[in-house]
Structure 1
Amino acid sequence: MAEKRKLFEEVTDETRPEIAKGGIDRARRGARKGIRLWLMLLFALVVVMIAVGGLTRLTDSGLSITEWRPLTGAMPPMNEADWQSEFEKYQQIPEFQVQNAWMELDDFKTIYWWEWGHRQLGRVIGLVWAIGFFGFLAARRIPPGWTGRLFFIGALGGVQGAIGWWMVSSGLEGTMLDVASYRLATHLGLAFIILGFIAWYTMLLGREERDLMQARRSKEDKLFSLATGWTHFAFLQIIIGALVAGIDAGRSYTDWPTMGGGFLPPDPMMLEPAWRNFLENPGLVQFIHRMTGYVLFAFSIMVLLRGRRSAHVVTRGAFTVAFVALTGQVLLGIYTVISGAYLHVAITHQLLAVATFVLILRARFHAAYPVPQSVRGK
């Protein structure tokens, strides 16, 4: 018979069931740290992918592979006959016939390796996602509510591959010497969307679920709304920047603050029908990018002033850092124009856009989930 306990007898740790020491929490939380590290690896790979994609465009290498072979395309040409076959395919498209007819096989190999590397990196990202997702799924280590989120990232990656080919195919026929700028903007825009989701999920997994639930009660709704608008505004500027890159509009006018000596570029509506000017007229597209940048900077000052009034020190710091990054991006954008969009300057401008976008997202996150601080915190 079990020994009866006194009414006020202390129960020691030895007599408490293990589940009271957090067994339930450990079972429900899954491999949060492991998944977060995996997402951070995916984040780094996507950033590299964006950089390689930018270099592929800046070196005019994007149309060097004229077929979409998701599986067999992983193997590069292995002998001289294979190289000659790939070169002959490239010789059939307008870019070679009009612009690169001077190329020999060795010249073609240079641009081929850039595009092959870009596509190969996409395959690596897909493989890393699949190994991580199905590995955590098989081990039953995905926290409750996270399976759909993590699968969603992989689905977006698959869509991105299809959009990449949709983009490339626009430059293989007709009179196009490059890919369509709006398709390039779609491709880059989706890359930033994927990056944004990965960053957001990484931030969520960086804190325990119970901490997030508690922090949500202190959410600064107005500041969060402003940060959401800031995120969308920055994303819009990135899309317009992709339109600039797609038609090399950054090299069309290299004076600042004027364009061709005036406020407006010469002949801003020279193309017919009129809507084409907003996608294909280098002067007008660069002008729109400049003006949007000025308005974004002014809006950012307002967001900063509101963010600096936050009651939470980490939130204030997040908004300050994001504003500093955006200011640097504006200044670098001006220098990119003045320098004629040199390759290393242009790619740095693109990478700083990534950093700025993610830091704005981080500020938004801290407005939604403020970090608790002591009573003395200021």
Structure 2
Amino acid sequence: MAHADAATERTLLTEIDRTGRNRRQIRGWLAVVLFTLFALVLVGGATRLTESGLSITEWKPIHGAIPPLSAEEWEEEFRLYQRIPQYEQLNKGMSVDEFKTIFWWEWAHRLLARSIGAIFALPLLFFWLTGRIERRLKLPLVGLLALGGFQGFIGWWMVSSGLVERTEVSQYRLATHLVIACLIFAACMWIFRALSPHSGDAAPTKKARTMAAVIAGMSLFQIYLGALVAGLDAGLTYNTWPLMDGAIVPGGLFAQDPAWINLFENPKTGQFFHRVGAYLLFVLALVHMISSLRAAPETTHARRSVVLFALVTVQAAIGITTLLLQVPVGWGVLHQAGALGVLGFAIAHWRGFIGEYPRETAIERRD
């Protein structure tokens, strides 16, 4: 009987060790995915800030991975660009060499987008076929793969809005594209954190987990507001702080009719509410940190709340600097990087209150 019990214990320990190895491998894969997504969002931001997003006027998911390789091909690509309003109204007279600069930004953005599909799909297939993926992860990972494919369509839907009548893409579609990218990033971070070891510390307060969730949600919403600001070029106006147009609450926020449309199409209103969102996120992070430190300063949750508040504070400083400098490309990209950093850490912090996924045995995975 004792021998049987010992054999069972050894089998269980072997299963635990195997599950641990599988999780480390999947975390390594997800870390690469997260890094690539981070780079993709930053290149997308640079593409927007350099007004390069409309330089490729056709959607070629496969063939488009190959850039022009001859002078004739460059001339053909340039002729396609010369047909759209952005060239006629903003860049008329541009040379081929000048066109190449904006072309490479958009091409790099699309290449990274194509690459993330392979980086996600091929390891997923390998882990699936070799039985390394736990049952609870299969549907979420397949859903992320599908959402990534849909994001490719959304990207072209966004670009197409600027090819006929406009000189830039629709702010509505730009915001949709960025938010979906951030949702994919957040979901990958959620799974990555759920497969990582947790401290087991109790939440500092009864409301700490809820507050962490609110901060994560507000971080995503603030990115959405920032996308509207970018789409409206609202950061190029009212470049003062803390006053905006000479006041804390400027006039003319609802000058357009109907009033609700100002939230999406009035640059002044867009920038104002992005500022308000930043103030609210700062206050939420500050309150969360103070309450956590007062209740249980020795817990990992409290220490993470300090890091989260620090990230929000640094991001606010970057945002103010970007505004005062009238959004130079480098600072604009840094601001977008900070936003994604805050979102990623906020998601990981929230997930930390829930605990690591329970480990499945091989039998459960087969079932």
| Whole-Å separation in 1 of the counterparts to 2:275 and 2:308 | 20
| 1:122 maps onto 2:96 in alignment | no
Residue 273 of structure 1: how far off its partner (Å): 4.5
Aligned to 2:280: 295
Amino acid at match of 1:81: E
Report which stretch shifted further, 99-108 or 17-26: 17-26
Segments of 5+ residues of structure 2 without an aligned counterpart are 357-367
Query: Which digits, 9 at most, give the CA deviation of each residue in 1:316-365, with x for residues without a partner?
Result: 10111001110111122111111111111111111111111122222212
| 1:350 maps onto 2:341 in alignment | no
| 1:75 maps onto 2:61 in alignment | no
| Whole-Å separation in 2 of the counterparts to 1:346 and 1:129 | 28
Aligned to 2:88: 97
Pick the aligned partner of 2:31 from 27, 37, 40.
40
Residue identity over aligned pairs, in percent, reads 36
| Whole-Å separation in 2 of the counterparts to 1:368 and 1:220 | 14
- 2:171/2:231 contact within 8 Å kept: yes
Matches within 5 A, 1:60-209: 60-174=51-165, 176-207=166-197
- 1:271/1:281 contact within 8 Å kept: yes
| Whole-Å separation in 2 of the counterparts to 1:158 and 1:330 | 33
SS at match of 1:115: helix
| Whole-Å separation in 1 of the counterparts to 2:221 and 2:8 | 55
- 1:87/1:108 contact within 8 Å kept: yes
| 1:307 maps onto 2:312 in alignment | no
- 2:253/2:262 contact within 8 Å kept: yes
Pick the aligned partner of 2:231 from 246, 271, 274.
246
Measured on the aligned residues, the alpha-carbon RMSD in Å equals 2.5
Residue 277 of structure 1: how far off its partner (Å): 2.3
| Whole-Å separation in 2 of the counterparts to 1:24 and 1:78 | 53
SS at match of 1:134: helix
Report which stretch shifted further, 358-367 or 87-96: 358-367
TM superposition score normalised by structure 1: 0.87
- 1:233/1:296 contact within 8 Å kept: yes
Segments of 5+ residues of structure 1 without an aligned counterpart are 371-378
- 1:43/1:199 contact within 8 Å kept: yes
Task: State the structure with more CA Rg.
Answer: 1
TM superposition score normalised by structure 2: 0.89
Amino acid at match of 2:56: I
Aligned to 2:359: none
- 2:285/2:308 contact within 8 Å kept: no
Residue 197 of structure 1: how far off its partner (Å): 0.9
| 1:334 maps onto 2:320 in alignment | yes
Residue 20 of structure 1: how far off its partner (Å): 3.6
Residue 12 of structure 1: how far off its partner (Å): 11
Aligned to 2:360: none
Change (3 A) 1:200 1:341: same
| Whole-Å separation in 2 of the counterparts to 1:26 and 1:354 | 34
Change (3 A) 1:257 1:219: closer
| Whole-Å separation in 1 of the counterparts to 2:289 and 2:27 | 29
| Whole-Å separation in 1 of the counterparts to 2:42 and 2:186 | 16
| Whole-Å separation in 1 of the counterparts to 2:205 and 2:304 | 14
Residue 309 of structure 1: how far off its partner (Å): 4.0
